[in-house]
Amino acid sequence: MRISYKSERELLAVGLFGHSRPGERVEALLRCGRNFSTRTSRGRVVTSAAALAAFTAAISLTPRWIAFAQQTPAARQTPAFEVISVKHNTSNAQTNWGRPVGDRFTAVNTNLKELVALAWKLRTFEVFNAPSWIDSERYDITARASQPNITDENFRLMLQGLLADRFKLTAHRETREETVYALAPAKGGIKAPEAKEGACAPFTPGQPQPPRQPGQPEPPPPCGALNVYPNHLAGYRINTAFLIRGLSELLSRPVLDQTGYAKAFDFNLEFKMEGIAPWEPGGFGRPELSAGTDDGSLPTIFTALQEKLGFTLRTQKAPVEVLVVDHIERPMEN
């Protein structure tokens, strides 16, 4: 699995979105105002009764304004997809999903846990109390909105509504005391190599890279990006915020930044998978589990971090916000 991202908003090439806060939701909903006309009827008032007619017209308009004010909350409903198709996928096709294109959102061969995490801007290991089938069963989902150019905030609300409507999902946020990792300087100090000029190429989020033509050399890696895949973690011109994001995905636990290090650096780590647990559906991973099949000549991720970058990972307890699934059902296909 190879993952590249420019920022925390683009981790796993799916554009992980921000936490949905009540204030932000209200602000988004308040944008959906409506215009109305307060003009009176076309009949003209006789000149001799102009003052009285103006007063009467003002009174007649008052109920109209009140009526519009009463209708406004109904008009400000939570945004939702208008047309939704859900089908079970058994094809083993390549998983493909991201934010909407135009008015359409498409997810191919995607497990439901990924979509739940996307809808609440969480990582999959931060989704608790979910049945195992939401991690193993795969679905194709197509949804169409009434208007294009869906904002990130509205997209999360629309995806939450889709999950509630078609999968009967109910869930709540909760803060729990959990075991996390803290990234800190190792004994002997930080030795992360500073970023080198020319070691990477500028990268623009959302802009696809041109295909490499036959015979052309391999292009340099993008600046400000991480490559995360089994036995390998690499980054070019990144800071510790990106590093801990990649470590968190590998270890299935939140990682706190306690390094105090602000410089950009390049790195390339190779390690064995011992200590890196599979992403289990029950919540945070268990890093003490062995992967079973490894190249014994490679260090663990913990040793590689210390030897190459001068960082150490320490376990500690910390409050963590998670999403607890209260209820979810398999969908009726259409």
- Is 205 contained in some domain? yes
What confidence score (pLDDT) does residue 295 get? 63
What confidence score (pLDDT) does residue 206 get? 53
- Cα–Cα distance, 290 to 287 (Å, whole number): 8
Q: Are 88 and 183 within one domain?
A: no
- Is 168 contained in some domain? yes
What confidence score (pLDDT) does residue 294 get? 55
Tell me the one-letter amino acid at 69. Answer: A
- Is 44 contained in some domain? no
What confidence score (pLDDT) does residue 147 get? 85
- Total domain count for the chain? 2
The three-state DSSP-derived secondary structure of the chain is CCECCCCHHHHHHCCCCCCCCHHHHHHHHHCCCCCCCCCCCCCCCCHHHHHHHHHHHHHHHHHHHHHHHHHHHHHCCCCCCCEEEEEEECCCCCCEECCCECCEEEEEEEEHHHHHHHHCCCCHHHEECCCCHHHHCEEEEEEECCCCCCCHHHHHHHHHHHHHHHHCCEEEEEEEEEEEEEEEECCCCCCCCECCCCCCECCCCCCCCCCCCCCCCCCCCECCEEEEECCEEEEEEECHHHHHHHHHHHHCCCEEECCCCCCCEEEEEECCCCCCCCCCCCCCCCCCCCCCCCCCCCCCHHHHHHHHHCEEEEEEEEEEEEEEEEECCCCCCC
What confidence score (pLDDT) does residue 287 get? 52
Listed as ranges, residues in the chain with pLDDT below 70 are 1-76, 203-213, 275-295
What confidence score (pLDDT) does residue 215 get? 74
Residue 40, Cβ neighbours under 10 Å: how many? 15
What confidence score (pLDDT) does residue 222 get? 82
What confidence score (pLDDT) does residue 227 get? 81
Domain boundary among the residues 172, 201, 230 is at 172
pTM of the entire predicted model: 0.63
Q: Are 253 and 285 within one domain?
A: yes
- Is 138 contained in some domain? yes
Q: Are 186 and 255 within one domain?
A: yes
- Is 274 contained in some domain? yes
Q: Which two tokens stand for residue 15?
A: 């554009």
The domain in which residue 268 lies consists of 178-211+219-324
Q: Are 126 and 232 within one domain?
A: no
Domain boundary among the residues 113, 143, 172 is at 172
Q: Are 164 and 182 within one domain?
A: no
- Cα–Cα distance, 99 to 102 (Å, whole number): 10
Strand partners, 250: none
- Is 306 contained in some domain? yes
